[in-house]
Structure 1
């Protein structure tokens, strides 16, 4: 079931990379805070969820979108059967992900695996867990394996990388080396150091996405340019977010233009981190089409050509998601 070269694993099977079209690389379809599905005040109506997500995906397709990457990983509401039905109905390719993180979002089983004293899971155990979701199919808990993950996604604790976070990063890198899919991680307190952990596993830098690089602190420190110089993909993945922790869309557009003019146009990725349906947390109720309808005109105003924009929206994610 593992993806073949020049194809990408979607929930409906491997498709030629050239068919992906415009890709939004870091979104969430159904996002459930672990445990919320058991809460008395949370309702999970799959028919209602389907209708909501189908409308949002159709809007994305209407505005020129081709592929959504659900980068929530394991155990956060991922519903492979639902995603299959959504893809068939809307015509939007859906790439689902394996992976977990950060540490605070892991269940106790993955934090203290019956050792005395408790120790973090070793990287090889995470690698085995994630790799099987690529080669054997994604777990539908207690039921079956179904489909194949097209990406390994994890995240680092915002206040600083923990030992478990490091195991997750190394496990993700080993999964990528063994299966051919890429790694995406949301950075914590030190993106360059965290990327260094992944690269220490001998994974080529162009197989890595560093997310969250449109955070205010990262931009102020010049981190996006530094990550690009190291050869990894720079994900500005909160397009449309308006808060003190992230730069504005106007500032993002300037940053994209700066990266392109510095020769790193082939390293830029864009998305909104939108949440289609959120359960147990507020979510980010942003249209998946926001990058296309609102942000692309800002790039044009910065002097980016249609070729530059197409490379960022189509070429870069196509190359990233293609197996190697």
Structure 2
């Protein structure tokens, strides 16, 4: 009898792997986060050997606590270093899924804000879609050098005060990339999670290919997470471990929200992460272990009544379903 192999794969920096090999996944972290331009500042060190050692230690801790895959959600121009990530993955054995995409508008370089028409209009969605899709079909850009492995996610963010026309182009371009390549979209909403989700759904992207992140912000607590789940998208509670910020829920409040979502029948849509930064340049450090969700928060959830099966679903099954190329 001939064994059959699954064709379901996920794009990692070392190439496609079977989706069933992902194991426990941290779905929204930053390995190396560099505010654009900081790499040129004379007071900021970009010692690659030092950066490698710091990240290797943190990824090894993640692995030793049961983690197997980490998603770097920085997008194209916030420090993503594909060569570095390849070396880290080979060294530590942790799968790394890197992302394409960019945003919000205020963080774009001048080229991407250059008017494209007369009278001026923002970059059109199809130009962003072409840019992002090539990072999947041809490989992620190492500027002026080469293309490397395929992006495994397209990520974008809206302006906190509300989506701008350029943000909308980014969101629509991200949705079109997902439709044409099969990778998922991760969005971080601006002022209104449901409005911003509707923008990508308007592009006919199925809701189950969308992760709406930041739903542990306090301004989303009044039912937004539950409504996002009802619409069929994944619910990202991705600041786990952030317990002292007035804009975000505490971990106890996050835990209550997870249990509420599971009780309402949406356990298959919950995703957890910490938005931790392995190495930060040009911005404050956020030195939370990548392992915090699996080592600390999920055991806390279990102590409050989360079942072993639901914990497995949230840590393994849900991210696998999201990241599988479809």
Q: The TM-score by the shorter chain falls in which range? A: over 0.9
Which residue of the partner structure matches residue 240 of structure 2? 239
Give distance in 2, aligned partners of 1:105 and 1:115.
Answer: 21
1:307 to 306, 309, 312: 309
The alignment yields a C-alpha RMSD, in angstroms, of 1.0
After TM superposition, give the deviation of residue 114 of structure 1 in Å.
5.2
Aligned to 2:112: 110
Q: Does 1:202 align with 2:204?
A: yes
Instruction: Confirm or deny: 8 A CA contact 2:7 2:18 kept in the other structure.
Output: no
Which one of the candidate residues 99, 113, 133 is aligned to 1:131? 133
CA contact (8 A) 1:111 1:119 kept: no
1:121 to 115, 120, 123: 123
Structure 2 counterparts to residues 1-324 of structure 1, below 5 A: 5-113=7-115, 115-219=117-221, 221-242=222-243, 243-324=245-326
- The superposition leaves residues 3-54 of structure 1 with CA deviations (integer Å, 9 ceiling, x where unpaired) of x951000000000000000000000001000011111111100000000000
Whether the 8 Å contact between 1:29 and 1:277 is mirrored in structure 2 is: yes
More deviation in 281-290 or 20-29? 281-290
Once the two structures are TM-superposed, the CA of residue 197 in structure 1 deviates from its matched residue by 0.6
User: Alpha-carbon deviation of 1:111?
Assistant: 0.8
| Structure 2 length-normalised TM | 0.97
Q: Residue by residue, what CA displacement relative to the aligned partner does 1:254-276 show, whole Å, maximum 9, x if unpaired? A: 10000000000011000000000
Q: How far has the Cα of 1:302 moved from its partner?
A: 2.1
Distance in 1 between residues matched to 2:260 and 2:13, nearest whole Å: 35
Cα 1:101–1:5, aligned 2, differ >3 Å: closer, same or farther? farther
CA distance in 2, matches of 1:188, 1:317: 23
Structure 1, 276-285 or 88-97: larger mean CA deviation: 276-285
**Structure 1, 108-117 or 281-290: larger mean CA deviation:** 108-117
Describe the superposition over 1:122-169 as per-residue Cα deviations: whole angstroms up to 9, x where unpaired.
Answer: 000000000000000000011111110000000011000000010000
Tell me, yes or no, if the aligned pair for 1:275 and 1:285 is still in contact at 8 Å.
Answer: yes
SS in structure 1 of the partner of residue 28 of structure 2: strand
Equivalents in 1 of 2:304, 2:173: separation in Å? 39
Q: What is the DSSP-based 3-state SS (H/G/I as helix, E as strand, rest coil) of the residue aligned with 1:245?
A: coil
Cα distance in structure 1, aligned partners of 2:261 and 2:102: 30
SS of equivalent to 2:203: coil
In structure 2, the gaps of 5 or more residues are 1-5
**CA shift at 1:116, angstroms?**
4.0
Asked if the contact 1:5/1:323 (under 8 Å) is kept, the reply is: no
User: What TM-score do the two structures reach when normalised by structure 1?
Assistant: 0.97
Work out the CA distance in 2 between the residues paired with 1:195 and 1:296. Answer: 27
- Inter-partner Cα distance in structure 1 for 2:88 and 2:146: 19
Name whichever of 135-144 and 291-300 sits farther off.
291-300
2-structure distance, mates of 1:116, 1:72: 32
1:173-199 C-alpha deviation (Å, 9 max, x unpaired): 000000000000111100001100100
1:97 aligns to what SS in structure 2? strand
SS at match of 2:141: strand
How far residue 217 of structure 1 moved from its aligned partner, in angstroms, is: 1.1
